[in-house]
Amino acid sequence: MSDLILQSLFSGLLTGGSYALIALGLAVVFGTMKIINLAHGELVLLAAYIAYMTESGLKINPLLAIPLALVVVCIASVLVYFFVSKIKKDRELNSLLLTYGIGIVLTNAILLIWKSDIHSTSNAWFQEAFVLGSLYSMNSELLFFIVSLVLMLGGWWWLAKSWHGRAVRAVASNRDAAKLMGINPQWTELISFVLAGVLATFAGVALYSSGVIQPALGESLTVKAFIITVLAGAGSIPGVLVGAILLGVVESLTITLYSSALQELTGMLLFLLVLFVLPNGLFGASRRRG
């Protein structure tokens, strides 16, 4: 039984890394503009389908699809920002409606282009087992857990140390004061959306390489990303990682000890519990750095 629990914790840890990669782009936009991009999951899914198209059409490693996916997803992310930036009143509420509609459009576009079939990578290496003592995982799960850590560390450094990163934090803290310091809020917000597109690209390729994809998956990816963002607290990159791992471990233990049918329920219960006890998230504004 102890080995089973350890395996479940290990699987939850790796799953949490994937969740963090998916949620980070949403968290960056939310921290900058205080809006939830409900099309973020569809952007992740778009990158996953580009990886599928590249692998199935050219018979190459799906990782080689990253440059093409970066271009397509970042353009799509910029278009989302273009539409959101046109909202002048009640941006927080109206952006939810707008991005939800964009998500539906993207889902149907994916459905029209790639149909409703379920796809997964045919690359054998990604699906081979990695053995660490008595613990097991797929090579792809471990690889993208490491990629997630590297990207999150890079994102944290960028926000904390670079000029553009500090500009993003300044706009998130006080938009009017940032203007007085010579920062262009529109340009800064655009950078946030481009960064979210880059992160969505890596998350999508990771999703395709380590799991299965189908057109309806985008909405559930957005929900998980939103849950993790709330668990983390606005603007907290370390909080995104902790919240994602916490969600992954809770879901993994639920599957192991109870039933996979309760996986989504326990995630929502965790979300409601943290929201009730810690409204600012695990790493709320008082403890936030970047």
- In tens, the pLDDT along 47-106 reads 999 999 999 988 899 999 999 999 999 999 999 999 998 888 888 888 999 999 999 999
Burial class of residue 152, CB neighbours in 10 A (0-12, 13-18, 19+)? buried
- Domain for residue 256, yes or no? no
- Domain for residue 82, yes or no? yes
- Spatial distance between the Cα atoms of 236 and 31, rounded to a whole number of angstroms: 8
- Spatial distance between the Cα atoms of 211 and 10, rounded to a whole number of angstroms: 17
Q: Evaluate whether 74 touches 234 at the Cβ level (below 8 Å).
A: no
pLDDT for the residue numbered 187: 87
The residues pairing with 130 across neighbouring beta strands, listed in sequence order, are: 137
Q: Evaluate whether 213 touches 206 at the Cβ level (below 8 Å).
A: no
The pTM score is 0.90
What integer is the mean pLDDT of 5-33?
Answer: 88
- Domain for residue 188, yes or no? yes
Query: Residues of the chain with pLDDT > 70: what percent?
Result: 96
- In tens, the pLDDT along 200-243 reads 999 999 999 988 999 989 998 998 898 888 888 766 788 888 88
- Domain for residue 86, yes or no? yes
- Domain for residue 283, yes or no? no
- Domain for residue 247, yes or no? no
Q: Please state whether beta strands 135-138 and 119-120 pair in parallel, antiparallel, or not at all (unpaired).
A: unpaired
What integer is the mean pLDDT of 250-275?
Answer: 84
pLDDT for the residue numbered 132: 81
What integer is the mean pLDDT of 181-187?
Answer: 84
- Domain for residue 206, yes or no? yes
- In tens, the pLDDT along 101-147 reads 999 999 999 999 998 889 999 888 998 888 887 788 889 989 989 99
- The strand ranges marked E within 123-248 are 129-132, 135-138, 212-213
- Domain for residue 263, yes or no? no
Number of domains observed in the structure of the chain: 1
Query: Which residues form the domain of 78?
Result: 2-225
For residue 53, what are its two tokens? Answer: 């198209």
pLDDT surpasses 90 at 28? no
Q: Name 76's Cβ contacts closer than 8 Å, sequence gap at least 6.
A: 43, 46, 106, 197
pLDDT surpasses 80 at 15? yes
